[in-house]
């Protein structure tokens, strides 16, 4: 009875509201109770052609036009995937100099990927979305999900690794939880922006199978499962078309095949012609050259490709009106979902809750690569040491700033050195050991220090220390982990290899921590008893690192990309220059579908540290996998279960991974591919049973002859392991 009364009350209220709004003559587009599509249609019917065209262009560095006459607001955007970038000036890259825009620095997305935990992606999206909302930004220019094809790519730190399934599982949670705040994501850079060398002109040639099996799946998930409200077109070309003007990737795949109903935003300056961008799927052209008034008169915003010339082409009829109506509808939909969404919260900014989230994600992403059993340097037992020497510029260098668009002005960044001093007090001493130059963009600035004297000083001090904590790696300088340029070597920069070799000669107790967004060669690996991959960890960096070093947190991160022994072991670098970085701006992805561990498996190459690898301070035992029946039919499903036990003395988290491979495929296929994973926490001695459900789509491949995904009957293997090479149990199954 109570329910019926509630329903009657609700419908009376809704009717009253509708009547009221109509009685008050609120136009449909302004009425938040109206369905979005009705509001879009109504707004479109009230707009002039000039107003529709204006929606498609920037009005400032990070905003696009609204419709002032109708009270439809502008769209405000900001970088980036790791935090809300500081306010930028109206018409230059210069910071606006605000004093209220220092944000929470979240760990880089490569660290999020290393958590292998969709719950962390959800927490990340919620927290960062609240900060964008509080800063009145309607669109977050991120997350980045380009596949890790080469360890030289300067922007790998902004992305989620080499495997499309891992990226898909994480990006969907990230997107949904950002957009729950009424803030749109703008997933980038669509498509095939897998390097920074010649990023605005390289023309990628790629097979249909590599396109559909490796480079598109995460985007498909972002659109079909994440329901991303905007996508950023990339600078590079794909088969001759620019990423912001592509019949294939924008009009066909994104908007037609996947039914994307949001807006495509260009990367800054990514449009190249009126006809190509208008007809090639671009909706909002962002750029960077003018405020349309003073110095920018030569190329004012309405001189943009989707500005005056586009309006002219529409008026002349060389572009149909349906084209602008589609663009304007998409942009209005984006506005109603964000700037005119009256249901959205007010967000929050720089809160302890967000700092705690950043720390939790970082804690889960740090990867323990080596912990020599004899020495067991980790976790650090403070009472064993009187003199702990910290060496390395990354122990003190700010790593939330720099790196290009993802660089942040943060409210705080706890350095590893300060956190170690807080934890271990007087025992901690420091010497820099090596130095990079200042954090620059677009060019390398030399270091003011002498590498030899820094090294000599460190070696001298190391001889007196009980324990050395080395904190090095890469940084956000140009030609390191930085936009608009790639690395020039797989080796550590700034003569760190020489330094590490020298230190290992005078002291065997070295814990080596690498902070980076990329893999690095480790020629000294056998001489170092403990190695940690530490990522860019954000505002709580030092605290997270000490959480792991001290054992307050048991490491549970797993590598989201392969660490190769040498560059020649990488697929992209196993051919000629056409494969990377390209010749005369033409690049061919010759390794095709064999990216990362797929390449290693195909060539039997042993990685330095493999995809999915990461140690714990406890140990896990995998039992034998069991299954009900080992045949799978087209509409069937197949379940595998496996018991996992924590055989150590402390609680820990483990990522149980499922890979599947076809035994004798009719086309070349990877030996195995990640098709499932489950991160679990077990108390000492606790056992749990993990079950994976296998469905036919997990066995399928993209048939380029038929231009569709399909299965073929045959024998498959399901591999369950704690990394892509540490397989604990294998099951044969037949697909009929
Ligand atoms: C840059 C980057 C892109 C960023 C945009 C705005 O060129 O490629 O990731 O969001 O411009 O800063």
Q: What is the mean pLDDT of residues 118-134?
A: 98
Long-range contacts of 302-305 (CB under 8 A, 24+ apart): 302/54, 302/57, 304/57, 304/58, 304/271, 305/271, 305/272, 305/273, 305/274, 305/277, 305/278
DSSP one-letter code for 194: -
Does residue 141 lie in a domain region? no
Q: Rounded to the nearest 5 degrees, what angle is found at the Cα of 166, between the Cα atoms of 195 and 359?
A: 90
Considering the domain architecture, whether residues 439 and 533 belong to the same structural domain is answered as yes
Of residues 634, 658, 677, 642, the one with CA closest to residue 717: 658
Tell me which residue has its CA closest to atom 8 in ligand 1: 267
Q: What is the mean pLDDT of residues 563-591?
A: 98
Does residue 216 lie in a domain region? no
Considering the domain architecture, whether residues 403 and 529 belong to the same structural domain is answered as yes
- How far is ligand 1, taken at its centre, from the CA of residue 283, in Å? 17
- How far is ligand 1, taken at its centre, from the CA of residue 388, in Å? 42
* CATH number, residue 462: 3.40.50.1700
State the pLDDT at residue 640: 94
Considering the domain architecture, whether residues 519 and 661 belong to the same structural domain is answered as no
Contact 73, 89 (CB under 8 A): no
State the pLDDT at residue 24: 64
Considering the domain architecture, whether residues 320 and 372 belong to the same structural domain is answered as no
Cα–Cα distance for residue pair 422/416, rounded to 1 Å: 10
Contact 91, 60 (CB under 8 A): yes
Q: What is the mean pLDDT of residues 519-536?
A: 98
Does residue 605 lie in a domain region? no
Q: Show the domain range for 454.
A: 360-559
Pocket residue to mutate for ligand 1, from 75, 242, 405, 484, most atoms within 8 A of Cβ: 405
* CATH number, residue 680: 2.60.40.10
Q: Which of 138, 163, 200, 267 is catalytic?
A: 267
Domain count, the chain: 3
Where is the domain boundary, 337, 368, 399?
Answer: 337
- For the chain, first and last CA: distance in Å? 53
User: Is 70 exceeded by the pLDDT of residue 447?
Assistant: yes
Of residues 641, 648, 36, the one with CA closest to residue 333: 36
Q: Tell me what percent of the residues of the chain surpass a pLDDT of 70.
A: 96
Binned at pLDDT 50, 70 and 90, residue 632 comes out as confident
Q: Tell me what percent of the residues of the chain surpass a pLDDT of 90.
A: 90
Q: What is the mean pLDDT of residues 172-188?
A: 98
Binned at pLDDT 50, 70 and 90, residue 20 comes out as very low
DSSP one-letter code for 583: B
Considering the domain architecture, whether residues 278 and 425 belong to the same structural domain is answered as no
Instruction: Pick the range with the lowest mean pLDDT from 204-213, 290-299, 444-453.
Output: 290-299
Q: What is the mean pLDDT of residues 614-625?
A: 97
Burial 346-357 (b: 16+ CB within 10 A, else e): ebebbbeebbeb
Considering the domain architecture, whether residues 512 and 413 belong to the same structural domain is answered as yes
Does residue 195 lie in a domain region? no
Q: Rounded to the nearest 5 degrees, what angle is found at the Cα of 728, between the Cα atoms of 723 and 731?
A: 110
Contact 543, 118 (CB under 8 A): no
Q: What is the mean pLDDT of residues 483-510?
A: 98
Q: Is 452 a catalytic residue?
A: no
Q: What is the mean pLDDT of residues 55-76?
A: 96
User: Is 70 exceeded by the pLDDT of residue 529?
Assistant: yes
Atom of ligand 1 nearest to the CA of 269: 7
Which residues approach ligand 1 with their CB closer than 6 A?
79, 141, 188, 267-268, 405
Tell me which residue has its CA closest to atom 11 in ligand 1: 268
State the pLDDT at residue 184: 99
Q: Any idea how long the chain is?
A: 736
Q: What is the mean pLDDT of residues 351-376?
A: 96
Q: What is the mean pLDDT of residues 567-571?
A: 98
Does residue 516 lie in a domain region? yes
Does residue 113 lie in a domain region? no
State the pLDDT at residue 579: 98
Of residues 409, 367, 358, the one with CA closest to residue 125: 358
Q: What is the pLDDT of residues 275-329, one digit of tens each?
A: 999 999 999 999 866 555 555 566 677 788 999 999 999 999 999 999 999 999 9
Q: What is the mean pLDDT of the chain?
A: 95
Where is the domain boundary, 559, 576, 593?
Answer: 559
Q: What is the mean pLDDT of residues 245-271?
A: 97
Burial 365-376 (b: 16+ CB within 10 A, else e): bbbbbbbeeeee
Considering the domain architecture, whether residues 309 and 369 belong to the same structural domain is answered as no
Atom of ligand 1 nearest to the CA of 62: 6
Instruction: Pick the range with the lowest mean pLDDT from 378-382, 585-589, 624-628, 645-649.
Output: 624-628
Does residue 271 lie in a domain region? yes
Of residues 515, 516, 512, the one with CA closest to residue 504: 512
Of residues 239, 245, 240, the one with CA closest to residue 274: 245
Does residue 127 lie in a domain region? no
Instruction: Report the C-alpha dihedral over residues 46, 299, 283, 232, rounded to 10 degrees.
Output: -140
Predicted TM-score of the model (pTM): 0.96
Residue 99: partners with Cβ closer than 8 Å, 6 or more residues away? none
- How far is ligand 1, taken at its centre, from the CA of residue 152, in Å? 19
Considering the domain architecture, whether residues 408 and 491 belong to the same structural domain is answered as yes
Considering the domain architecture, whether residues 398 and 300 belong to the same structural domain is answered as no
Considering the domain architecture, whether residues 306 and 390 belong to the same structural domain is answered as no
Q: What is the mean pLDDT of residues 673-686?
A: 98
Q: In whole angstroms, what separates CA 58 from the centre of its chain?
A: 25
Binned at pLDDT 50, 70 and 90, residue 13 comes out as low
State the pLDDT at residue 290: 59
Cα–Cα distance for residue pair 538/536, rounded to 1 Å: 6
User: Is 80 exceeded by the pLDDT of residue 432?
Assistant: yes
CA distances in angstroms from 298 to 290, 292, 294, 456, listed in the order given: 8, 8, 9, 56
Considering the domain architecture, whether residues 506 and 548 belong to the same structural domain is answered as yes
Considering the domain architecture, whether residues 541 and 652 belong to the same structural domain is answered as no
- How far is ligand 1, taken at its centre, from the CA of residue 300, in Å? 20
Q: Helical H runs in 247-351? A: 274-279, 308-316, 321-337
State the pLDDT at residue 278: 98
């Amino acid at each position: 009875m109570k329910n019926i009364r509630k329903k009657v009350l609700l419908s009376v209220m809704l009717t009253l509201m509708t009547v009221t709004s109509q009685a008050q003559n609120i136009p449909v587009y302004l009425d938040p109770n109206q369905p979005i599509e009705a509001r879009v249609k109504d707004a479109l019917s009230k707009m002039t052609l000039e107003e529709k065209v204006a929606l498609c262009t920037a009005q400032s560095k990070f905003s696009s036009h609204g419709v002032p006459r109708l009270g439809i607001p502008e769209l405000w955007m900001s970088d980036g995937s790791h935090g809300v970038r500081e306010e930028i000036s109206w018409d230059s890259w210069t910071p606006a100099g605000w004093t209220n825009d220092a944000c929470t620095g979240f760990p880089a997305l490569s660290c999020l990927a290393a958590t292998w935990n969709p719950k962390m992606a959800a927490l990340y999206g919620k927290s960062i979305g609240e900060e964008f909302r509080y800063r009145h930004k309607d669109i977050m220019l991120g997350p980045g999900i380009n596949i890790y094809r080469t360890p030289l790519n300067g922007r790998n730190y902004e992305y989620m690794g080499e495997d499309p399934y891992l990226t898909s599982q994480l990006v969907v949670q990230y997107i949904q939880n950002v957009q729950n705040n009424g803030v749109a994501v703008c997933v980038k850079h669509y498509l095939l922006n897998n390097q920074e060398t010649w990023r605005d002109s390289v023309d990628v040639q790629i097979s249909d199978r590599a396109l559909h099996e490796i480079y598109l799946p995460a985007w498909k998930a972002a659109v079909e499962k994440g329901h991303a409200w905007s996508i950023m077109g990339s600078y590079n070309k794909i088969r001759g078309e620019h990423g912001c003007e592509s019949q294939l990737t924008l009009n066909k795949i994104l908007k037609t095949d996947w039914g994307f109903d949001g807006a495509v935003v260009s990367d800054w300056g990514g449009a190249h012609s009126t006809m190509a961008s208008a007809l090639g799927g671009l909706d909002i052209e962002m750029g960077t050259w003018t405020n349309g008034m003073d110095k920018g008169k030569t190329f004012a915003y309405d001189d943009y490709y989707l500005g005056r010339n586009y309006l002219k082409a529409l008026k002349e009829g060389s572009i149909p009106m349906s084209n602008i109506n589609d663009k304007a509808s998409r942009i209005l939909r984006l506005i109603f979902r964000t700037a005119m969404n009256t249901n959205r919260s007010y967000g929050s900014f720089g809160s302890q809750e967000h700092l705690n989230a950043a720390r939790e994600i970082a804690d889960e992403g740090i990867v323990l690569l080596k912990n020599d059993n004899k020495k067991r340097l980790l976790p650090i037992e403070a009472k064993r040491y009187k003199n702990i020497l910290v060496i390395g510029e990354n122990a003190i260098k700010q790593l939330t700033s720099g790196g290009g668009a993802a660089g942040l002005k943060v409210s705080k960044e706890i350095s590893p050195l300060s956190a170690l001093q807080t934890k271990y007090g007087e025992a901690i001493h420091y010497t820099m050991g090596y130095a990079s130059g200042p954090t620059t963009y677009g060019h390398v600035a030399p270091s003011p220090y002498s590498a030899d004297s820094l090294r000599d000083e460190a070696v001298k001090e190391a001889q007196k220390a009980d324990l050395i904590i080395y904190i090095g790696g890469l940084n956000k300088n140009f030609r390191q982990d930085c936009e608009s340029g790639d690395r020039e070597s797989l080796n550590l920069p700034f003569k760190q290899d020489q330094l590490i070799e020298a230190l290992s000669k005078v002291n065997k107790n070295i814990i080596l921590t690498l902070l980076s967004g990329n893999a690095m060669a480790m020629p000294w690996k056998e001489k170092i008893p403990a190695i940690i991959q530490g990522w860019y960890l954000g505002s709580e960096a030092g605290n997270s690192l000490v959480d792991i070093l001290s054992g307050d947190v048991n490491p549970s991160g797993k590598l989201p990309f392969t660490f190769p022994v040498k560059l020649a072991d990488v697929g992209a670098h196993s051919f000629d220059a056409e494969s990377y970085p390209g010749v005369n701006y033409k690049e061919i992805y010759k390794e095709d579908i064999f990216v990362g561990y797929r390449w290693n498996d195909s060539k039997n190459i042993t990685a330095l540290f493999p995809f999915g690898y990461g140690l714990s301070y406890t140990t896990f035992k995998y039992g034998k996998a069991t299954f009900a029946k080992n045949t799978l039919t087209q509409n069937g499903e197949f379940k595998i279960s496996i018991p996992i036990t924590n055989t150590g003395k402390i609680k820990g988290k483990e990522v149980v991974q499922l890979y599947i491979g076809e035994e004798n495929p009719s086309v070349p296929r990877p030996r195995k591919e990640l098709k499932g994973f489950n991160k679990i926490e077990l108390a000492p001695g606790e056992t749990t049973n993990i079950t994976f459900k296998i469905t036919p789509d997990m066995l399928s491949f993209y048939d380029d002859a038929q231009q569709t995904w399909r299965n073929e009957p045959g024998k498959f293997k399901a591999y369950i392991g704690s990394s892509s090479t540490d397989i604990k149990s294998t099951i044969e199954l037949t697909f009929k």
